[in-house]
Structure formats: C-alpha cells, structure tokens
C-alpha cells in the first residue's frame, strides 16, 4: 500500500530562497514575519514539519543571493513558541559550534516545543562560509567531514542521555561534562548528504535523508531512494527518503512552464558564477538543462498545472518516498495556493 507523504516547508530564511533569479518574485527578504506566516499556515493545514537551513555567506550578484539569512536555531525557537503540533528542524553547521553548546540548544528548543524538535546535521561544503570566520579546519577537513560528523553526533547523543561524559576522540575532548536538561525524547535526525560518505552517514545515523542533486524525474528519485534503502539495510536500519522540491504550480502546464522559463531567462548569472566557483562546479559549456539546474540550485523542481503537480506528488509516494519539503518562488502566496488548489487533487494524502 502506498504510504501518504509527510509534507514539510523549507522555510524562507535566506534571501532569494532556492531560485537564483532577478525577477520579482522571487525576491524577498527573510523576515521573521514571513517565516511566521508560513509556519502558521502550514501548521493550520496539517503539514508535518518545518525545516530551516543554516547559511553564513551568500553569493552576491545583483540579488545578493543568500547574503541575508536568519539564524536557524533562533528562528526555530521562535517557531516553537508560536506553533503547537508541527515538527521543527533546525540545521547545525557542525564546523561552527561545539557539540556541548548544541546539546543544550536542542534540549532548550525541545522544552519550548514540548518534544517537537529535531536536527539537520550539516557537515559544511562551502569553505568560504567558515574560512571568513577563521573556522575552516584545513582542506583535509572536507575529506574527513563525515568522520567529524559521526564523532560530533556520538558526543551529542551521550550528552543527551548520560549523567557525565568523558570523551577523548580525534576531534573532541570532554572531561566529566554535564549537560542538563535532557531532551524529552530521542531527537530525530536529518542528513542531506549526497556523496557516498554522506549517504553512508545518513544510512547509519539519520531518521530521514534527502534525495537530490540534479535528478528530478520520478525514475531518478526512485533509483536514488533504492540506493539509500540498500545502504541503510546494510546497517539493519530504515531511513525515510525526503525530497526538497521547488514547486511552480499554475492553472495550466503552459503558464507554469512560462514562469519557469522566465526565472531561467532572468537568472542572476553573477551569483550563479560565484556559487559554481565555491562549489567547484564547471558550467562553462552550460546547456539549457544545466542553466535550469543552476537557476534552481540543483534542487529538484516541478512546473505544471495544479493537476500535474498533484500527479507528480502522488508519483513520489508511489516510488516509496516518505516525504517532500516544499520550496516556493513566492512565499507570500504560493503555500496557500498549494493548499487550496494542489493538495485536494492528490490521491496519497493523509486524511
């Protein structure tokens, strides 16, 4: 039987969201007011979770893409205070904060939210974000980032469950370290790693992993899901596969595709070039598909009529995915439109 998808929102906490374009929308500033509005609409419509990302430096260009961002834990603590049912995830960039600090921040938001808080572990892919603060641990860190993540998590989990922790590992030293309060439940974990090491870490430790990269057909995502499940089975575990998805939904397929083409035509080439540079990508001979991939930041997207988008979401459920985390071009209007026009057309949705 096909399981209904968990539905989540990728909160608009960084300027420009996940579309690198100068058109208006998608230009918006990541204000608390906009995030609060989306959090409350999502909770009211019965969505399952909210997730915010962590960013320390954007990509400049005409749009100053991601140069403005609200800090993830601070934002989710505020979301915890104004919601009552929806699950909440903050993202921790592990090169920036000692696990002893994060252990207590998580326990605090677990208390504020009364047991609705979880953690997205970000090992850090953009050296510049950390180097600008003197926090880059040398270029060999990148190769060892998931060993670091595993030890980081071991420390966190011990601090969440043990009275006193003494730990001497490759990266962290704790002596008789106490951390109270303890969280009220086992903290759910997300990891969005896409590399082999990232997928191995997710398979071994996380409750949910994100599928992605440049593949957005249902067959591609089904294949990536099979890869994740095979890896998790190797650890005797199951991991729910989520996908981050930009949704461009309009009355007709043609209108949605025209909007997608408008974003691609007005893409912020300067910000895209900076993103490609820091991510080590070469788009010098970019095809239209490459350009679309860049404009939508290598995140899967669907552009179609309300019915086409509903069918695509049903297809995700039929391919065994556990959930979807939505990104919108315009967070002022598009979440409500999805709720009113797309979700009622889905077959595999929760009652």
Ligand X SMILES: Cc1cc2nc3c(=O)[nH]c(=O)nc-3n(C[C@H](O)[C@H](O)[C@H](O)COP(=O)(O)O)c2cc1C
Any contact of residue 58 with ligand X (CB under 6 A)?
A: no
Q: How far is the CB of 195 from ligand X (least distance, A)?
A: 3
- What residues numbered 292-351 form the site for ligand X, per CB under 6 A? 325
- What residues numbered 125-144 form the site for ligand X, per CB under 6 A? 125
Q: 28 or 125, CB closer to ligand X?
A: 125
Q: 212 or 240, CB closer to ligand X?
A: 212
For 195-232, letters b (16+ CB in 10 Å) and e give: eebbbbbbbbbbbbbbbbeebbebebbbebbeebbebb
Any contact of residue 193 with ligand X (CB under 6 A)?
A: yes
Q: How far is the CB of 212 from ligand X (least distance, A)?
A: 5
Residue choice 194, 246, 295, 305 for contact with ligand X (CB under 6 A): 194
Report how far residue 337's alpha carbon sits from residue 345's, in angstroms, rounded to the nearest whole number. Answer: 12
With contact defined as beta carbons under 8 Å apart, do 279 and 332 qualify?
A: no
Does residue 82 sit in helix, strand or coil? helix
With contact defined as beta carbons under 8 Å apart, do 19 and 34 qualify?
A: no
Residue closest to ligand X, measured at CB: 198
- What residues numbered 88-117 form the site for ligand X, per CB under 6 A? 91, 93
Binding mask 229-268 for ligand X (x = CB under 6 A): ---------------x------------------------
Report how far residue 28's alpha carbon sits from residue 17's, in angstroms, rounded to the nearest whole number. Answer: 8
Options 101-109, 188-196, 281-289, 316-324: segment touching ligand X (CB under 6 A)? 188-196
Q: How far is the CB of 93 from ligand X (least distance, A)?
A: 6
Binding residues for ligand X, rule CB under 6 A, total 18
Query: What's the farthest any 2 CA atoms get from each other in the chain?
Result: 63
- How many CA atoms are closer than 13 Å to the CA of 240, on its beta-carbon side? 16
Position of tokens 């970019």? 286
Options 15-23, 193-201, 221-229, 306-314: segment touching ligand X (CB under 6 A)? 193-201
Q: 83 or 194, CB closer to ligand X?
A: 194
For the chain, the straight-line distance linking the first and the last C-alpha, in angstroms and rounded, comes to 15
Residue choice 5, 18, 53, 106 for contact with ligand X (CB under 6 A): 53
Q: Where are the alpha helices (DSSP H) in the chain?
A: 32-44, 72-82, 99-113, 127-131, 140-161, 196-205, 218-233, 253-265, 269-278, 288-295, 306-318, 334-337
- What residues numbered 210-229 form the site for ligand X, per CB under 6 A? 210, 212
Q: 196 or 219, CB closer to ligand X?
A: 196
Any contact of residue 192 with ligand X (CB under 6 A)?
A: yes
Q: 22 or 229, CB closer to ligand X?
A: 229
Report how far residue 52's alpha carbon sits from residue 89's, in angstroms, rounded to the nearest whole number. Answer: 7
Which residues sit at the interface with ligand X, rule CB under 6 A? 53-54, 91, 93, 120, 122-125, 192-195, 198, 210, 212, 244, 325
């Amino acid at each position: 039987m096909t399981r209904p998808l968990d539905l989540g929102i990728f909160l608009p906490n960084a300027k420009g969201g996940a579309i690198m374009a100068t058109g208006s929308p998608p230009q918006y500033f990541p204000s608390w007011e906009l995030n609060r509005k989306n959090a409350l609409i999502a909770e009211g419509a019965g969505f399952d979770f909210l997730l915010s990302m962590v960013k320390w430096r954007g990509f400049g260009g005409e749009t100053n893409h991601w140069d403005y961002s609200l800090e993830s834990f601070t934002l989710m603590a505020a979301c915890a205070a104004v919601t009552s049912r929806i699950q909440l995830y903050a993202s921790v960039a592990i090169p920036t904060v000692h696990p002893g600090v994060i252990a207590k921040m998580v326990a605090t938001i677990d208390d504020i939210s009364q047991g609705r808080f979880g953690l997205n572990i970000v090992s850090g892919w953009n050296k510049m974000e950390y180097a600008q603060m003197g926090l880059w641990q040398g270029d060999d860190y990148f190769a060892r980032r998931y060993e670091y993540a595993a030890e980081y998590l071991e420390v966190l989990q011990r601090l969440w469950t043990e009275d006193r922790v003494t730990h001497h590992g490759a990266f962290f030293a704790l002596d008789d370290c106490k951390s109270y309060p303890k969280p009220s439940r086992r903290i759910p974990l997300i990891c969005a790693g896409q590399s082999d090491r990232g997928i191995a870490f997710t398979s071994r430790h996380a409750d949910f992993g994100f599928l992605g990269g440049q593949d957005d057909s249902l067959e591609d995502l089904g294949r990536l899901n099979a890869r994740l499940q095979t890896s998790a089975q190797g650890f005797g575990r199951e991991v729910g596969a989520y996908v981050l998805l930009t949704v461009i939904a309009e009355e007709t397929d043609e209108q949605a595709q025209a909007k997608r083409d408008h974003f691609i035509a007005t893409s912020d080439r300067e910000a895209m070039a900076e993103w490609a540079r820091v991510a080590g990508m070469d788009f010098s001979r970019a095809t239209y598909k490459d350009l679309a991939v860049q404009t939508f930041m290598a995140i899967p997207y669907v552009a179609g009529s309300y019915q086409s988008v509903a069918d695509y979401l049903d297809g995700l459920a039929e391919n065994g995915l556990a959930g979807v985390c939505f990104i919108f071009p315009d967070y002022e209007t598009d979440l409500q439109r999805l709720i009113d026009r797309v979700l009622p057309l889905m077959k595999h949705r929760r009652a």
